[in-house]
Amino acid sequence: MEVYLDNAATTKVSKPVYEAMKPYFKSSFGNPSSLHNKGIPMRKTINTSKKKIASLLHCAPTELYFTSCGTEATNWALKGLALSPSIKGEIITTRIEHHATTHTVEFLEKLGYIIHYVDVDNDGFIDLFQLEELINNNTLVVSIIYANNEIGTVQNIEKISEICRAHSTYLHVDAVQAITHIPLNLTELQVDLMSISGHKFHAPKGIGLLYIKEGTHIENLIHGGQQENERRAGTENVPYIVGITKAFEEGMKVVEDYNDRLNQFANEILDALKNEEIDFLLNGPKIGENRLPGNLNISFEEIDGSDIIFYLNKAGIYVSSGSACNSEMIEPSHVLKEINVPKDYINGSIRVSIGQFTTHIEITYFIKTLINIIKKLK
């Protein structure tokens, strides 16, 4: 049996998405910029896709721009603001962001921007009082990850937005893990920019979105042609645009059931570990509305997480490590460090991310296998 529990890293393309995309590889292959019968329908397809996604996100179609991925969307949001004609020179973020954000602000710091980092508590929630203290008339943008990719923390974006609006400061939200996994309404959130990546919710890799609220002034990141309303050059990837649109539609149909079912699976895993009296820590918030459904980051005392992953892999079960690898060594995740996971637990961390198509049989097999591995390694 193969059990895929690494859905926070990427998801498989669903059958409805695959079927929707197929014609656009073969018969409907025209360039959307071409003014003939092969190109014009492709332009209409892109416009229709934006209208469909906009209706689900509760925004205007003209506020949506297709990108290659969430990383490009985040780079465009932050660099686009930084390169715009603004006299503001400070940026606020956290130390538990995805590297798409942390590395971008580090780059902007080299250009002269002052970067402030808001503290988070041991569950990963940002200190809203400190944000109030840090934000000022010179703050260009606050950039916050909506649902943390490692520990599942879901931030109070509505409150963060209130603080930013009170200080006339842009708010960028990395919603890569949040889309179709938790209810989301842009009219209610009141954010200025939002990054989205299709391969996190059963669209293919290589397609993303940047939401740019009307009136938000950012520079272009990619120059060339006049695509995407002259905001992002490059021939549009029509098959993948169709794919991400279908994935949006399919995902939003089941979001409530998805939340309940995945949280039930997550609790089942934790209860089984407790019943076997296995010593572990759940990193991040408790299971519920403040945690991304299906996300479990678990640390085991005095065990190497890579050993757990090795034996799970041998059993056909695929999860992620709680560590970040480089060419010289394996280091604990920057997120786990920031939330103060104890030293005797931090190297024994794994991330389990349950998905829309995970079955109860798979969860049962995973639980039994994991417990046996932990007992063996102890």
For 53-107, the pLDDT digits (tens) are 999 999 999 999 999 999 999 999 999 999 999 899 999 999 999 999 999 999 9
Same-domain status, 247 and 283: no
Provide the domain limits for residue 308.
3-10+254-377
Q: Which residues are catalytic?
A: 325
Same-domain status, 291 and 306: yes
Same-domain status, 295 and 154: no
Same-domain status, 26 and 160: yes
* pLDDT level of residue 327 (50, 70, 90 thresholds): very low
The CATH number of residue 81's host domain is 3.40.640.10
User: Given this model, what pLDDT does residue 331 score?
Assistant: 78
Say how many domains are in the chain: 2
The pLDDT tens digits for 136-174 are 999 999 999 999 999 999 999 999 999 999 999 999 999
pLDDT at 328 over 70: no
User: Given this model, what pLDDT does residue 324 score?
Assistant: 55
The CATH number of residue 293's host domain is 3.90.1150.10
User: Given this model, what pLDDT does residue 86 score?
Assistant: 87
The pLDDT tens digits for 199-217 are 999 999 999 999 999 999 9
pLDDT at 35 over 90: no
Same-domain status, 263 and 222: no
Same-domain status, 168 and 280: no
Q: CA 265, 267, 273, 275 torsion: positive or negative? A: negative
User: Given this model, what pLDDT does residue 332 score?
Assistant: 83
Q: Which of 220, 253, 286 is the last residue of a domain?
A: 253
What gap in Å lies between CA 368 and CA 362, rounded to an integer? 10
pLDDT at 326 over 80: no
Same-domain status, 274 and 231: no
Q: Which of 196, 230, 253 is the last residue of a domain?
A: 253
Same-domain status, 97 and 120: yes
User: Given this model, what pLDDT does residue 323 score?
Assistant: 55
For range 306-313, the mean pLDDT: 97
Same-domain status, 130 and 182: yes
* pLDDT level of residue 257 (50, 70, 90 thresholds): confident
Same-domain status, 56 and 182: yes
Q: What is the mean pLDDT of the chain?
A: 95
Same-domain status, 294 and 312: yes
User: Given this model, what pLDDT does residue 255 score?
Assistant: 87
Closest by Cα among 198, 200, 182, 201 to 291:
182
Same-domain status, 244 and 261: no
pLDDT at 284 over 60: yes
